[in-house]
Amino acid sequence: MTKQYDLLMRLLIIGDSGVGKTCLLCRYVDGSFFPNYAATIGIDFKVKDLTVDSKRVRTQIWDTAGQERFDTITKQYYRRAQGILLVYDISNMKTFISLNKWISFAKQYARSNAQVMVVGNKTDLDEWRAVTREQGYRFAQQNNYSFFETSAYAETGHLEEVFRDLITRIMINHPPELMSQSSQDSNPTSDCESEENERGFSLADRAAGKCCSIV
């Protein structure tokens, strides 16, 4: 059978509950925004294919629950990720301070060469901004991570740019053989065992291996 892609990458989205991780994923993959808040239960993923530097890249993007009660489950997914998006809400200082906790998890459980990007979300709420762009940038720089501000709500949130930057960094820092196709990779739903997210992915998506949730 013809290979559908050259490289498979696993990206992980982490950060406090409510910062907009699921909305960022939906905006990036489906181009839509859900204003009604439904906390992620456990972990979900979506798949997006794109071409970067003439390589067909399949990204499996894992969306974790930010609520502390799911930490034990979500930590199990750090190891498989080549890239991590560390998200905070620019209108909520507490979520920015929490990045220290998420970084310590990433350092403890992720691969040492995982590429990390700090993402300040909800720039459309600039009126209520609590974390300056400079603070976000400096924090990322101190940790040697890249930095973006964006908005899942606004269509001009530059999400394509955010993900392309992360994918390019991964391609530079990871040996290609670690991201080539394997039988397990081609059937990501084999990782899934249990209930659907409260937000509810369709059965068709699930059957196509495009999403799932694990509690």
Angle ∠(124,93,73) on CA atoms, nearest 5: 95
DSSP 36: S
124 binds ligand GTP (CB under 6 A): yes
- Cα distances (angstroms) measured from residue 25 to each of 130, 138, 144: 23, 25, 24
Instruction: State which of residues 8, 12, 22, 114 lies at the interface with Mg ion (CB under 5 A).
Output: 22
| Residue 82 · residue 170 · CB < 8 Å | yes
Question: For the chain, what is the radius of gyration of the CA atoms?
Answer: 16
Pick one of 15, 40, 57, 106: the residue that binds Mg ion (CB under 5 A).
40
**Distance (Å, whole) CA 118 – CA 72:** 22
Judged by beta carbon distances under 5 to 8 A according to partner kind, the member of ligand GTP, Mg ion, none in contact with residue 174 is none
Residues 150 to 209: which contact ligand GTP by CB under 6 A? 151-153
CA 89, CA 97: separation in Å to the nearest integer? 10
- List the one residue out of 98, 97, 147 whose CA is nearest residue 118: 147
Stretch that binds Mg ion, among 20-28, 113-121, 131-139, 203-211 (CB under 5 A): 20-28
Q: Please give the distance of CA 202 from its chain centroid, rounded to a whole number.
A: 20
> Closest CB to ligand GTP among 40 and 60?
40
Nearer to ligand GTP, 19 or 192 (CB): 19
- In this complex, which beta carbon is closest to ligand GTP, that of residue 98 or of residue 121? 121
Site string for ligand GTP, 12-51 (x = CB under 6 A): -----xxxxxxx-----------x-x-xx-----------
Instruction: With H, G, I as helix, E, B as strand and everything else as coil, classify residue 3.
Output: coil
Q: Which of residues 54-93 bind ligand GTP (CB under 6 A)?
A: 65-67
Residue in 50, 52, 125, 130 binding ligand GTP, rule: CB under 6 A: 125
Cβ-based nearer residue to ligand GTP, 55 or 101: 101
Two structure tokens written together for 150:
């964006």
Interface residue list for ligand GTP (CB under 6 A): 17-23, 35, 37, 39-40, 65-67, 121-122, 124-125, 151-153
